[in-house]
Amino acid sequence: MQSRYTVHIAPTEWRWVMLVSSALVIVAFLPFLWVAISGSGGSQWQFMGALNNHQDAAVYIGRVTQGVEGSWLVHLQHTPELHNPAPIGIIYPILGQIARLVNMPSIAMYHAARVVASFFMYLAIYQLGAIIWMRVRTRQMFFVLATIGAGFGWLLGPLTGEVSYPDLTIPEAFPFYSSLVNVHFPLALACLALLVAMLIAAFRPGNQESPNLRNGGLGIPLLSIAIGLLYPQILLPVIGAVTLFLLIGWFSRRRFNVTELRWWLLLVLPTLPLAALYYAVVAYNPAMTEWNRQNVTISPSLLALVLGFGLPLIVALPGLYRALRRFEADGDQFMLLWLVFIVVLIYLPSDGQRRFAAGIMIPIAYFAARSLEDFWFQYLSRRWRFRVVALLLPIITISQFFVLIAPIFPMLDADPSDSEGVFLQRDYARAYDGWLRRRVDSTDVILAAPQPSLWIPAWAGARVVYGHPFETLNADQKRAQVLAWYSADAEDCGALLDEYDVRYIIYGPQEAALGPTPCIEALQQITQIGDVTIYGP
C-alpha cells in the first residue's frame, strides 16, 4: 500500500481502486455465472435466476417484470388481492422500463444493474476515504476494511448452530455481501458514502462556506432523496448524528451557526415529503398496511452483533476509545455519533430493527483504519506492518467468502433438489416462459405449490395465492390453505379457487410431493408440458 500524501485522487490511485473494485465484482458474480452456464442442474433442472437470498431476489425480478409491462409503481404480485400500487422499491420498475427499451430480459437487467451498482458503491466508498484522509495508505486500508471486512460468524455459526450473526444474515451492513443479494443495497450504500463525504467536507472545522452548486449544495439534497427512495432507514442515523453533532458544536462554542443550519436543512428538508408519502402509503393503502405489519426484521442479540463485526471491531477499539476520550469536532466526533445512532436504532422497538444496520461497516472501518495508523502500527516496525495486515486480511474476509459460496454447496453433490427454490424442475420454467407468459396478465391468479409460486411473478408476470412469507398478505393463512388444498385436507376444493378468483392451477412434481391432491380430479386439464400440467377451475 502506498504511503504518500495527496489531497486529490491521482490517476494511478483511481486505477488501483478500479482494479480492486473490478476484482470484487467479478468474484461476487463467479458462483452465479458458474451455476448459470455450467449446467450444474443437469437436464431436468432449471436455474431460476438468483443464488443469494433467492426468495427476495425473485420478488425484485418480479418487480422488474412489472416495469417491462409498463408499470412505474409496485404491486405485490405474490398475493392474490388486487390493490393500489405504491412507490416502494421503485428502482426495480425503473429498471424494467429500461429493459423494455433495450429489449433485455428481466433477469439479465436485474443482474446487469447489480454489477453497475456494486462497482459504483466501491468507487463511492473510496471517494469517502479520500475526503477523510490525505494519506493514500490509510485510504486504501479504510477501503479494504469497509468493503470486505466482516466478523466471526463463519466460525461461530457452525459451532453454535446460531445463524443470527450480522456477517451471515445482514447483507446491507457489509458492502461486499450487499452486492450479492440485490440492486438497491449497494446502490443505497454508494449514495450513503457520497452523502457522508459531502457532510464531512461541509462540517469540517474551520469551513464557513455556504452551500452552492460546487461544494455539495446540490449533491446533498439529491443524495438524500435518492437514499429515501432506495433505503430510507439509512437516513435516520445520519440525520440524528448530524443534528447532535451540530447541537454539541453550537453549545460548546456558545454560538449559533447559520451556515451549518443551511447544510442541515439541505439534508433534512428533502426527506420530509418522502416520509409523509411513506406514512400515507402505509396508513391508507390496506395492502401496504398488512405488508408492513408482517415485514418484520428483528435484531440479533448485542453479543451476536459484536461478534458479527469481529476483528475489524477489535482493531477499531483504540480509535473508538480516543474518540470517546477527546470527542473532537472532526471526523471522529461525527463517525462516533453515527455509529451510536445506528446501534441505538437497531435495538429500539420497531418492526425494522435490523434494517438500521445498513452501512455500519463504514464507521467501524473508519475507526479501524485510524487505529491502525495511530495505535497498532506504533508497536510494529515498518517491515512487520505489511506482514501483519496481510495475515489479518484473510481472517476478516472469511465470512464474506462463506456467504458467497454457501448457496452452491447443495449443487456440489449434483442434487439441485436440495437448493430450495434456486432450481425448479425444468418443465416449470417451460410452462412459465413458454405457455403462461403469453396467456396471463398481472391481474390473473395462479395456484401452485410455494416454491413454484415464488418464481411465477418474475417468469410469467401473474399473481399467485401464496409465494413469499412477507410479500403475500396474511401469508401464514394462505400458505396453510395452499398446502391443505394440495394435500387432500381441503374441506371444499372450490372454496379456495373462488375466494381468490384463481384462473390456472399448476400440478407438477412440487405439488405431487405435498400429497395425493384429490381436488385435481374436479378440474379441467388445459395443457401438459412434460411433468407439469396446467388446469382450469
Condensed to tens digits (0 to 9), the pLDDT of residues 168-214 reads 999 999 999 999 999 999 999 999 999 999 999 999 888 888 898 88
Give the start-to-end residue ranges of the domains of the chain.
11-38+105-407, 423-536
**Residue 525's beta-bridge partner residues?**
535
* Of 86 and 383, the one with more pLDDT: 86
What pLDDT band is residue 327 in, cutting at 50, 70 and 90? confident
What pLDDT score was predicted for residue 3? 56
Please provide the average confidence, as pLDDT, over all residues in the chain.
92
Q: Is 333 exposed, middle or buried (0-12, 13-18, 19+ CB in 10 A)?
A: buried
| C-alpha grid cell, residue 534 | 396446467
Q: How many residues does the chain have?
A: 537
Check residue 409 and give left, alpha or beta (phi > 0: left; psi -120 to 50: alpha): alpha
| Integer angstrom CA distances of residue 74 from 24, 77, 427 | 31, 9, 29
Distances (CA, A) of 189 to 54, 119, 338, 358, 410: 21, 11, 15, 8, 31
Dihedral pair phi/psi, residue 225, rounded to 5°: -65, -45
List 524's β-bridge partners, or say none. Answer: 536
pLDDT at 103 over 70: yes
| Radius of gyration of the chain from its Cα atoms, rounded to whole angstroms | 25
CA distances from 133 to 119, 137, 143, 402 (A): 22, 9, 11, 31
Name the residue among 307, 151, 332 with its Cα closest to residue 241.
Answer: 332
Average pLDDT over residues 140-160: 94
Chain-centroid distance of CA 266 in Å reads 26
How does residue 490 score in pLDDT terms, banded at 50, 70 and 90? confident
Alpha carbons 149 and 311: distance in angstroms, whole number: 8
Instruction: Say what the pTM is.
Output: 0.94
Written in H, E and C, the secondary structure of 490-530 is CCCHHHHHHHCCEEEEEECHHHHCCCCCHHHHHCEEEEEEC
Sign of the CA dihedral with 451 first, then 174, 395, and 15 last? positive
Query: What is the DSSP annotation of 204-229?
Result: STT--PPP-TTTTTTHHHHHHHHHHH
Residue with the larger pLDDT of the pair 488 and 179? 179
- The continuous run of DSSP H or E covering 464 comes out as strand 463-464
> Do residues 222 and 176 touch, judged by C-beta distance below 8 A?
no
- What would the grid cell of residue 325 be? 476520550
Q: What is the reported pLDDT for 72?
A: 95
> What secondary structure letter does DSSP report for 7?
S
Q: At what angle do helices 106-132 and 184-202 cross, to 10 degrees?
A: 20
* 505 and 499 Cβ atoms separated by less than 8 Å: no
- 399-446 pLDDT, tens digit per residue, is 999 999 988 887 776 667 777 789 999 999 999 998 999 999 999 999
- CA distance readout (Å), 125 to 106, 113, 121, 463, 473: 28, 18, 6, 39, 37
Q: Which whole-number Å values give the CA distances from 177 to 29, 109, 174, 295, in the listed order?
A: 12, 20, 5, 21
- Whether residue 51 contacts residue 41, with contact meaning beta carbons closer than 8 Å, is answered with no
pLDDT digit string, tens, across residues 242-295? 999 999 999 988 888 999 999 999 999 999 999 999 999 999 999 999 999 998
Spatial CA neighbour of 341 closest among 326, 357, 318: 357
- Interatomic CA distance for residues 389 and 372, integer angstroms: 9
Q: Is 445 helix (H, G, I), strand (E, B) or coil?
A: strand
